[in-house]
Amino acid sequence: MYVRRLALAMSWFAALVVAVLLILPLIGQTQESADQAADETEDSGPRRVAVTYVEAVPQRIEDIERTLATVEAKWSASIAAEVAATVETIAVDAGDRVERGMLLATLDSRDLEIEVARASANVRRLETTIASRERDVERQRQLAERGHVSESALEAVESELGALRQELEVAQSELQRAERNLERAQILAPHAGTVARRRVSEGDYVTAGTVILEIPRADRLQVRIPVPETVAERLEPAMPVRLSTVASHGNIAAEITQIEPQVSPTSRTVTVIAEIDNPGGWRPGNSVNAEIVLDTRSAIALPPRSVVRRPAGNVVFVVKEGEAHERVVSLGQRTREWIEIVDGIEPGDRVIVDGAGFMSDGAAVNARPHDAQPEAAGIAAREGSSS
C-alpha cells in the first residue's frame, strides 16, 4: 500500500514539473510582447485628434443688400377714345397679347362719315368757285390793260379771289380733321404688350379722353427695389444690381438708375429703381429677388464653424507642425456659408474647420484638407432683407 501511494505521488509531481516547463516560455513571450507594445506607444507620442482644415486665401467679398422687388412697366399706355361715339366692337380683353398696330376696338363711324362727306363737298364747291373767279380775274385784267376797267374794279375781283382761296384752305383743313376723326373710329395698339384691363363694353357711349383699355408696355421694365433707410446713405446711381426669379436661370445684370428721395412712412424704406429690357416672360406686377452690391473688397473668408468663442474672444486654430495653435481674430461681415476675417490670420494659414469646437491650444492633430476649400470667387458678405 505504501509503495502504491509513493508511486502515485511521484507521477503527480512529474506532471506538475512538465506543466511548469511548458508555461514558462509562454509567460516570457507575453511579457516580451507587452514590453514591445509599451515601447511602440512611447515612440508614437500623444494621441492625435483627426481634424480638417482650409487654407486661408483672399476672397472677393461683396457687401450685398438682398430684398424682394416689384416689376413695373417703364411705359404704361391708357388707350382712350379720341372722338365721341358709341363703342361698336372690342376685339381684345384683359390678358390678351397684342402687337403694335393691331385693331383693339371700333367706334360707330356713321356720324364721322357724314362729317367727311360734308367737308369734302365744301372743298369741291370752293374749288369750283375759285376756278370760275380765276377766269373772271383774267378777263378783268385784259380789260384793264385796254382801259375798259378801272384799277379799283380789278383789285376788287382779285381780293374776292384771294378770300375764296383762304376759305378753301380752311375747308381743306376741316376735311383733313374729319378724315382723321374717321380713322380714329378704329382704335389700334400703339405698342406691343398685354392688356391689363378693359374699361368699357360694347354699346357704351364714350367721349374724347375716355379710357377704353390699359396696355402696359412690356419690352422695357423698371424694377422698384425697397431698401432700409439705414442703407440709403450708401446708395449711389449706377451701383450693380442682380435680379432673379424662381423660374429664371441665373441673374439679370442691371444697375441703379434712380433713387427716390423720400422714405416710406409705413415701411421705413427707400425705393431705388433699376431699368432693364424684358428678359422674356417677365410681367408688370411680378416679384423678383434683388441684390444690390454696396461694396466689393478682397478679404479672407472662412466657414462659420471654424470660428469658436473662447475667453480670449473669437478664435480660430491654425495647424502648424502637427499642432493646433489658437489665434484671436477680428470678424467682419458674415453669411450662412462664410465669415469674413478682418485680422488675426495670414494668407496661407491652415485653419481647422471640423473639430475646431473641441480644440485646445497646442493639441496634437492629424489634419487633412476640408472638402469645402473655398475658391477665389465672389462671396456675399452681407444678407439684408426688406419688405
For 50-61+298-380, CATH number out of 1.20.1440.230, 2.40.420.20, 3.40.50.300, 3.40.630.30 equals 2.40.420.20
The pLDDT score that the predictor gives to residue 30 is 46
The pLDDT score that the predictor gives to residue 142 is 82
What's the whole-model pTM score?
0.56
Could you tell me which of 225, 219, 266, 267 has the C-alpha nearest to residue 244?
225
The pLDDT score that the predictor gives to residue 383 is 47
Cα separation, 264 vs 279, in Å, equals 29
Could you tell me which of 343, 338, 346 has the C-alpha nearest to residue 373?
338
- In the chain, which stretches have pLDDT less than 50? 2-3, 18, 26-43, 375-378, 381, 383-387
The pLDDT score that the predictor gives to residue 5 is 56
The pLDDT score that the predictor gives to residue 23 is 54
Give me the residue spans of the domains in the chain.
50-61+298-380, 66-71+218-296, 78-109+185-213, 112-173
The pLDDT score that the predictor gives to residue 329 is 95
What's the Cα-to-Cα distance from 132 to each of 128, 136, 140, 385, rounded to whole Å?
A: 6, 6, 13, 82
The pLDDT score that the predictor gives to residue 352 is 94
Could you tell me which of 262, 233, 228, 256 has the C-alpha nearest to residue 67?
228
Q: Which amino acid is at 33?
A: S
> How would you class 243 by CB atoms within 10 Å of its CB: exposed for 0-12, middle for 13-18, buried for 19 or more?
buried
The three three-digit cell numbers of residue 24, written as one number: 514558462
What's the Cα-to-Cα distance from 3 to each of 6, 11, 15, 17, 236, rounded to whole Å?
A: 5, 13, 19, 21, 120
Helices 110-146 and 151-183 sit at what angle, rounded to 10 degrees?
160
The three three-digit cell numbers of residue 325, written as one number: 495653435
Continuous segment of H or E residues that includes residue 219 = strand 211-228
The pLDDT score that the predictor gives to residue 155 is 80
Q: Which fold, 78-109+185-213?
A: OB fold (Dihydrolipoamide Acetyltransferase, E2P) (2.40.50)
Please answer whether residues 56 and 346 qualify as being in contact, where contact means their C-beta atoms are separated by less than 8 angstroms: yes
> How would you class 272 by CB atoms within 10 Å of its CB: exposed for 0-12, middle for 13-18, buried for 19 or more?
buried
DSSP one-letter code for 358: G
Is the CA virtual torsion 77, 290, 269, 231 positive or negative? negative
Q: Where are the alpha helices (DSSP H) in the chain?
A: 2-44, 110-146, 151-183
Length of the chain as a residue count: 387
Answer yes or no: CATH 2.40.30.170 is held by domain 66-71+218-296.
yes
Residue with cell 371700333: 106
